[in-house]
Amino acid sequence: MIESARDRDRRALGRMLTIQVPGDKSISHRVLMLAPFAAGASRLSGLSQGADVAATAAAMRALGALPPDWDPRGEVTIDGPRELKTPAGVIDCGNSGTTARLLLGLVAGSSVSATLDGDASLRSRPMSRAFKPLVAAGAQVRQRGQPGRLPLEIRGGGGALEPIEHATGVASAQVKGALLLAGLSARVPVTVVEPAPSRDHTERLLRQMGASVESGRTEAGYRVHFSPPAELVPFELKVPGDFSAAAFWLGLAVLGGAGPGLRIESVGMNPLRTGFMRALEVMGADIEVEDRGEEAGEPVADIVARRSALTGLDLPPDWIPTLLDEIPILACVAAQAGCRLEIRGASELRVKESDRIAVLSRNLSRLRVEVKELDDGLIIEGSTGTLSGVVEAHADHRIAMAFAVLGALPENSIEIDDASCVDVSYPDFWETLAAVSGGGGAG
């Protein structure tokens, strides 16, 4: 988003800017993997334009589920139903764990085989949590790299795949999504039990397409049960704004780095995604939510955030799945706002795009913020002073963007070693940062 002359005038008058954020990345991946199986044309707009979703689009083209020239920009149509074909070469999932894990499921339930690979970060991330239950149901996996890591060759069980019943050790929407997609492509029922509910975008989309998906708490954990329908109906969807992208602007606004504040329009408000907002509110943030209804089963709202004085928080561990991707920005907000923030029960952060516990701890220390690294979290003693230093992003988009928010505060002087890694989820991030913060910004 580039600042217009009108925006500059509004800022000069001390008025609040209104911005939009990219389409939700998690929903965009799932739309590209589900719509080709509907009986008819799905009409879509607002898909994420980042490199992660581009990797999913390329994979679906290689698998014959999207036409060779299909592109996710603007208002687009996906025709179905389509059958998967064995791709000519290796599928490169880039930096995207969601692409890799969901594809493992989709291919496992089909009658084709594919080899999946990724960049150095993705090659280091655990894949066995997704493929082991698929192998137990009848798919075949050949490990072509380190055990349990990409590259992996997966051969679908097709019509012979068994119904899937699996209890996951961790709440993971990628693992749950992989199993649901395997059930969809093999037309077998799937039951997944998670220790806590992970984001439920796959379930919501499947329901939009006419499938029966039941979910609820049981003694064993949070249970999701899917029965494949005879036919999936196509859908229309304007993808809501990505809450995980909006989180950076909420953080900047409450820290006072966006003038009088910001209005962020049409943000997806799925309650399994908005834990960061809940945490900020408990810390004392001035945030208003204006309901904009639903978009294909997902709640959508405008959010207004203003500069606020914040207090500390012991993050309840059961909130972690609802704000896992937002811990970098939450840590940075606490560090700058002079708050004590205690995070426990978040060991999953160690296997994200980087080891986010270690990387947050190291970078906050470099900025001379007091921080203690725990096995499963962090304790941050925030300061209200000036922060300066060089931040190492470790090619992790959410680390770069979280520290860039601190770098945009006029009193700070922060350099990010790798600005381009934001492209995986938010190619316009730096332009928007310059616009909302009045031109400055780390980089």
Separation of alpha carbons 434 and 2, rounded Å: 8
Q: Which is nearer to ligand S3P, 17 or 422 (CB)?
A: 422
Is the N-terminal amide bond of 240 cis, ω within 30° of 0?
no
Q: Which is nearer to ligand S3P, 31 or 173 (CB)?
A: 173
Asked if 148 and 125 count as a contact pair (C-beta separation under 8 A), the reply is no
Q: Which is nearer to ligand S3P, 126 or 385 (CB)?
A: 126
Q: Which is nearer to ligand S3P, 175 or 371 (CB)?
A: 175
Asked if 104 and 134 count as a contact pair (C-beta separation under 8 A), the reply is yes
Asked if 122 and 96 count as a contact pair (C-beta separation under 8 A), the reply is yes
Which two tokens mark 369? 């913020």
Report the nearest approach of ligand S3P to the CB of residue 399 (Å). Answer: 13
Report the nearest approach of ligand S3P to the CB of residue 170 (Å). Answer: 7
Is residue 325 part of the annotated active site? The answer reads yes
Q: Which is nearer to ligand S3P, 321 or 407 (CB)?
A: 321
Exposure pattern of 174-186 as b/e (b: 16+ CB <10 Å)?
A: bbbbbbbbbbbbb
* Torsion on CA atoms 208, 211, 214, 215, rounded to nearest 10: -50
Distances (CA, A) of 297 to 6, 204, 245: 35, 6, 20
Say which residues have a Cβ less than 8 Å from residue 278's Cβ, sequence separation at least 6: 319, 322, 323
* Active-site pick, 24, 52, 117, 325: 325
Report the nearest approach of ligand S3P to the CB of residue 202 (Å). Answer: 8
Asked if 115 and 90 count as a contact pair (C-beta separation under 8 A), the reply is yes
Separation of alpha carbons 143 and 140, rounded Å: 10
Closest by CA position to 53, among listed 115, 82, 44, 312: 44
Q: Which is nearer to ligand S3P, 25 or 155 (CB)?
A: 25
What are the helix (H) ranges across 35-119?
51-62, 97-108
Report the nearest approach of ligand S3P to the CB of residue 442 (Å). Answer: 23
Q: Which is nearer to ligand S3P, 29 or 155 (CB)?
A: 29
Which two tokens mark 362? 């190291």
Q: Which is nearer to ligand S3P, 28 or 110 (CB)?
A: 28
Residues that bind ligand S3P (CB under 6 A): 26, 29, 98, 172-174, 177, 198-199, 324-325, 348
Closest by CA position to 362, among listed 351, 373, 350: 373
Closest by CA position to 150, among listed 172, 173, 119: 119
Report the nearest approach of ligand S3P to the CB of residue 283 (Å). Answer: 22
**Residue whose beta carbon is closest to ligand S3P:** 26
**Longest Cα–Cα distance in the chain:** 66
Which two tokens mark 379? 């304790």
Helix axes 25-34, 97-108, angle to 10 degrees: 20
Report the nearest approach of ligand S3P to the CB of residue 348 (Å). Answer: 6
Report the nearest approach of ligand S3P to the CB of residue 7 (Å). Answer: 30
What number of CA atoms fall less than 13 Å from residue 6's CA on the CB side? 2
Report the nearest approach of ligand S3P to the CB of residue 72 (Å). Answer: 16
Q: Catalytic positions, please?
A: 325
